[in-house]
Structure formats: C-alpha cells, structure tokens
Amino acid sequence: MSTSSAPADYSQLSQQLLQKLQAKQAILGVVGLGYVGLPLANLFHQKGFRVVGFDIDQRKVDALMAGKSYIGHIPNSRVGELVADGRFTPTVDFSKMREIDTVSICVPTPLSAYRDPDLSYIESTGRALAPHVRRGHLIVLESTTYPGTTQEVLRPILEAGSGLKAGVDFFLGYSPEREDPGNPNFSTSNIPKVVGGLDPESQAVSVALYSQAVPKVVGVSSMEVAEACKILENTYRAVNIALVNELKVVFDRMQLSIWEVIDAAKTKPFGFQAFYPGPGLGGHCIPIDPFYLTWLAKRYGLNTRFIELAGEVNTHMPRYVVEQVTEGLNQHRKSVRGSKIGIIGIAYKKDVDDPRESPAFEIIEELLHLGAEISYHDPHVPTLPRMRKYDLRLSSEPLTDNWLSGLDCTLIVTDHSAVDWNLVARNSRLVVDPRNACGKISSPRDHIIN
C-alpha cells in the first residue's frame, strides 16, 4: 500500500465518503448479481443502505424486479422486500454508476482451456464502468484472483477509460469474497472481511464500507496481500483434500475404510484437521484458485510442484469414480454400456443449488461416452443448466422406489440432507457412494461401494 502523502483534495474526498458511509447516506453498488454479489447487495440493503445492483444478464434483472430469486438461500419473499421499498435497484445500465458512491465487483474468474487465469469478466467490467467513474468513487474488486490483478489489470482499464487517476481522483481496493454456501453457521453477514487498499485513503474508505456490513474487518498492508490471502485459503483446502483423495485410493486397495480412518484420526485434539475425500472438487474457488497461483509463480520463474500435484490428484477423482462404477457393475455381470445409472446430486456441494464446476458433469459425460443411460435426482437443481463446457439436457427425477429399483447403479455425487439415504440404499441394486452418504444407514450394506 502506497504511503505517499495524498493531495489535500484527495484527503477531503476521503473524509466526505467516510462521513456518507457512517451516516448511511452513501449509495452502494454491486456488479455481478450471482452467488456472491446478490447476497452482498442483500446485506448492504439490510444494513440500511440504498443499493444499485449491476448485471449484464437482463433475465436476472427481470427476475429480481418481479420478486423472484434464482439463488436457493435467498427466498422470493426477501427479493420482494428488496425491490418493494425502493432502496434496491437491479439494472443492466452501467451509466447508473454515476449515481453511486462505491462499487463492489463480484464477477467470475474462471480458468481458460489451458488452466490459465481468465480475467475477461474483470476486464469487461472495468471497461463498462470506466466511462462513468467520477472523482470520489470507491471501487473494490472482490473476485478471486492472483496477487497483482487489481493493480496491474483493473486499475489501468479504469484510468484509461475515465481519464482519472486512482490514488488521486478515486479510491481502489480489494476485498476477497468469502462464502460458505450450505453452512448455516456462516453467511455474508458474519464472516470477517479482509481488506487491502491502494493507499491509506483507499484503505480507510474500504474498511469503512465493509465495517457497515460485517462485525469484523481485517485490514492488511496492500491489495496484493488481500489477493494472496484468498488464494492461500483455497489452496490450503485443495491440497488437504488431495491428500485424503489420494489416501482413499490407497486405502481402497488395502480394503480399509478412509472414513473410519479419518474418524479415528480426528479424535486427536491437536495437530489434525479432518478433510474428506469425494468425487472431485467443485464450486467457483477450490478447483480454480490454486491454478491462478501456479500460473503466477511461472511468471517469476518458479514451479509450485506441490500445488500442481494436488491439482492432478483432485482432477483425477471423477475418473476414479467412473472406474468404481465400472468395477461395481462388473461384479454384477454388467457392462457400463447399456446400464441405467442414476446420479444423486448435481450441485457441487451439499445443500446448495450451485452447480458451478461440479464433478457431476464430467462424470456424466464420461459415463455417456461409455454408453450408459443417465438420469439424475437433485432436490436443489431441477434441470441441468447449460455450463461453459457442458450442455446436458436432463431434468431431475422424483426420488421414488420405482426410479431407484429400475437403475443398475445409483451413484452419489452430492450428499444433500434432503435425500432419504435409507430409501436409496434399500431400493438400489448397486450404490457407489464416494461421499459416504450411506455411511450411517441401518439397511444392509453389501451392495454399497464407498
């Protein structure tokens, strides 16, 4: 973070914005009304602010204006409240940027086909906002990305398009989004926010913004530290998940239950944190963020072999699950070709409706390639959405005795709480359960592979 002394009028702009934030008179903007942006806009609204939400998808804007939610944990009734009192305005018109005081950018940061960072959403958002940036604006990037993105990518776009200078005319910061969907103990409102600013004034107004919404804000010395913080958090998880995924393969060969081993290990009150294997990583962070770091390391002439190895292990897991299905069907004297396989769970995580980067899509595609007949059940995903790499046209089947008993294999990808796992185990001929969803059922277990 720059420590150079700011011009007097820049400091005055900072004081004016601080006063407006503290008095809840500032108008707050959120760009990207998806799984991160809409909850943030909702939170700002709950704290008494007027909020403008920007998105390029007219369908999302129309749904919100009609009081309809497209995110499971935000009910229609709450969306109706958002628009009813006039303090929340969803729009595709980025010129409304001139009406607001702050904007938090919450857009996707996927990987390219070659696992390089795809910053196109950040870049296009910067170009859309830039003509409307005015003096005194605060712009905060929340999208997960590699250290240096806000400074090296977003800042030049904003300055070139506006004719203004960050640190002189407007404030710039970075605060990584932190979401744990499906976890009732944590939400946008109670997870601490890490904040890094371009300079002391940017830091002060960024901290003030998020202090109005969450109980704890952690200020760090630079935007780059805040960006690296998010990468570290998710790389830590990815590496540890890879460890247990690899051990699962080893223990399967030894005919040991990885689940029992983990349960025993976590009785140790120190030095161990339980992570669990699964059919592959999913979501918008863990399968992606470590590769941002490995890409950046190569720019510095370094190789992150440990992280890359973890990525290889995790990306192999969908294929390993397909191998388990193949082996299980072989034991029943069946081939994958022509077999009816039912997938339970499409969402990337338990009890959420978010299918982004879910291993289910890769598993389904591979099974279809092998000639299987596929159907699925997911109480949170009624139809398969079109994804960046997949376009599978299927709708969720009711979870019934008839559907289950008509399958040659039931494959559990996501262990939703709403699913009756005793029903699944009781009516399925063969269950492949890489989530251990049936681990505590009372039904016979001879036909369950986990």
Q: What does the pLDDT read at residue 84?
A: 93
- Residue 391: predicted pLDDT: 78
Given 106, 285, 409, 438, which residue is catalytic? 285
Percent of the chain with pLDDT over 70: 97
* 1 pLDDT higher than 90: no
Count of C-beta atoms within a 10 Å radius of residue 159:
20
Please state the pTM of the whole predicted model: 0.90
Residue range 146-173: mean pLDDT, rounded: 97
Question: Taking 70 as the threshold, does the pLDDT of residue 102 lie above it?
Answer: yes
Residue 185 predicted with pLDDT over 90? no
CA distance linking residue 165 with residue 137, whole number of Å: 11
With 0-12 CB in 10 A as exposed, 13-18 as middle and 19+ as buried, what is 152? exposed
Rounded distance between C-alpha atoms, residue 204 and residue 197, angstroms: 8
More confident of the two residues 188 and 439: 439
Query: How far apart, in Å, are the Cα atoms of 71 and each of 21, 82, 185?
Result: 28, 14, 18
The pLDDT of residue 3 is: 46
Q: What is the mean pLDDT of residues 247-262?
A: 96
CATH architecture of 8-221: 3-Layer(aba) Sandwich (3.40)
Q: Which residue has the higher pLDDT, 131 or 187?
A: 131
pLDDT at 244: 97
* pLDDT tens digits for range 278-303: 999 876 667 777 888 888 898 899 98
**Residues 331-343: pLDDT tens digits?**
999 999 999 999 9
3-state secondary structure 13-46: HHHHHHHHHHCCCCEEEEECCCCCHHHHHHHHHH
Residue 5, pLDDT above cutoff 60:
no
For 233-363, strand residue ranges (E) read: 340-344
User: What is the per-residue pLDDT for 50?
Assistant: 97
Averaged pLDDT for residues 168-193 = 86
Selection from 80-84, 201-205, 234-238 with the highest mean pLDDT:
201-205
Backbone angles phi, psi at 415, to 5 degrees: -95, 65
pLDDT at 46: 95
40, two tokens: 């943030």
Q: Distances in Å between the alpha carbon of 61 and those of 37, 88, 385?
A: 13, 11, 18
Specify the pLDDT at position 180: 74
Assess whether pLDDT exceeds 90 at residue 347: yes
| Higher pLDDT among residues 450 and 101, named by residue | 101
Q: Please check the confidence at residue 216 and state whether its pLDDT lies above 60.
A: yes
**Residue 27's pLDDT band (boundaries 50, 70, 90)?**
very high
Predicted local confidence at residue 283, as pLDDT: 67
Taking all residues of the chain, what is their mean pLDDT, rounded to a whole number? 93
Map out the domains of the chain as residue ranges: 8-221, 235-449
pLDDT for the residue 39:
94
Active-site annotation holds for 106: no
Residue 383 has pLDDT above 60, yes or no: yes
Considering Cα of 178, then 180, then 183, then 188, what sign does the dihedral take? positive
For residue 303, give Cα distances in angstroms to 111, 114, 118, 224: 18, 16, 20, 20
Please state which CATH class domain 235-449 belongs to: alpha beta
pLDDT bin (cut points 50, 70, 90) of residue 265 is very high
| Percent of the chain predicted with pLDDT > 90 | 81
The H-or-E segment that residue 139 falls in is strand 138-141
* Same CATH fold assignment for domains 8-221 and 235-449: yes
Least confident of 4-13, 87-96, 225-234, 239-248: 4-13
